Amino acid sequence: MQFQLSKPNKKINGSIDLPSSKSIANRALIIQALSYSPYTLQNLSGSDDVEVMQQVLNSNTNQFDVGHAGTAMRFLTAFLSQIVGEWTITGSDRMKQRPIHILVDALGQLGAKIEYLENEGYPPLKIWGSHLKGGILDLDGSVSSQYISALLMIAPCIEGGLTLRLKNKITSRPYIELTLKLMKQFGVRSVWKGNEIRVSEQPYQAREFTVEADWTGASYWYQLAALADEASIELKNLRLMSLQGDCQIAAWFKDFGVDSKATPDGVILTKTETKLPKHLQLNLVENPDVAQTMAVLCVLRKVPFHFSGLETLKIKETDRIAALQNELAKLGAAITEPRHGELKWDGNFSLPKEAIPCIATYHDHRMALAFAPTALNFPIAIDDPMVVTKSYPKYYDHLKQVGFEISQS
């Protein structure tokens, strides 16, 4: 299935009820389970990833399939390893290609027994949950922060607690900070000093909790505002002072003429006149999920760029470096990878642009989400468009709400 998208004019006005943050929701669901909370989490997203997590945590079986949900795979592997019982966890074909040995090895040092059912180092896994004993773990901080968060969330429940010593450059630091901030809201104290994070054995405290709107989801509306001639967009339930690291994009988009104003109900984006950057250089090590948003925006606004800190993009839902190169080529832009974890564009359209580019999504929700705003400049087709349900199920409804024309073919 494909969607054809177009926009009759370049004006955007509307009020958007953003999905809540799946990063916060999935952490809060794990913490809530560990605290044996009687409360129901409020404002949970209807995204696939959150629904998968809820289904597993509320299941009466011991065999789980998380599909494409990488967060669920990592968090649940740690969670199940300290719940007494025998558990099997698997996922999609792509999930079976995403490495998990670093987390499994770390859990093994705490006493967990985990077996690879197919290929060594990859899901599916057989887990024999048992009592874990803590101590000091050395962990590579340059790999997915989800491994670190998975360990931190179970740390208070481990005998003796846990100390993580992070080696090498720490990627996605805001996601680790997010985990610790949420743990604190549920009563767990931690100490992060230098490259060492210490969490003592202590109980979680059950409490009522409401999940805030998703900043990565907001990034596509910032992108739309930056591409529009005129824009006034209210993003409900979004907080400028947020737990989420991607709130940093509000400052970046000022260079593209997008102002952010906090209101009691959320944030209002307004398009203003501005002089675009001659060249945009960003280190996205702390914000890898907005790489596609920023790359597509820069090509459409003809701003040369050089992004670094993208080492984790190759092990996401797809190889996002290769995917961006392939699909931006359809817009005429040749994107290079100067070094591992980098993307660069010199500002030249040296490739033939397709008349109506058809964007492949590679089972990756962020490819569809980041490329759809291209329709503000020219008509575009999105292949397998409903991958957006992973994080933003109502995305196309919201685009229609602000005047996009979308047809199915």
- Residue 207 burial (CB count, 10 A): 13
Distance (Å, rounded) from C-alpha 117 to C-alpha 126? 7
Longest Cα separation, the chain: 62
Task: Give me the active site residues, please.
Answer: 289
- Residue 295 burial (CB count, 10 A): 26
Q: Are strands 380-383 and 2-6 parallel, antiparallel or unpaired?
A: antiparallel
Distance (Å, rounded) from C-alpha 289 to C-alpha 70? 13
Closest by Cα among 365, 314, 379, 362 to 341: 314
Closest by Cα among 247, 193, 182 to 218: 247
Between helix 215-227 and helix 291-300 the angle, nearest 10°, is 0
- How many Cα atoms are found within 13 Å in the side-chain-facing hemisphere of 52? 26
> Sign of dihedral through CA atoms 254, 366, 290, 155?
positive
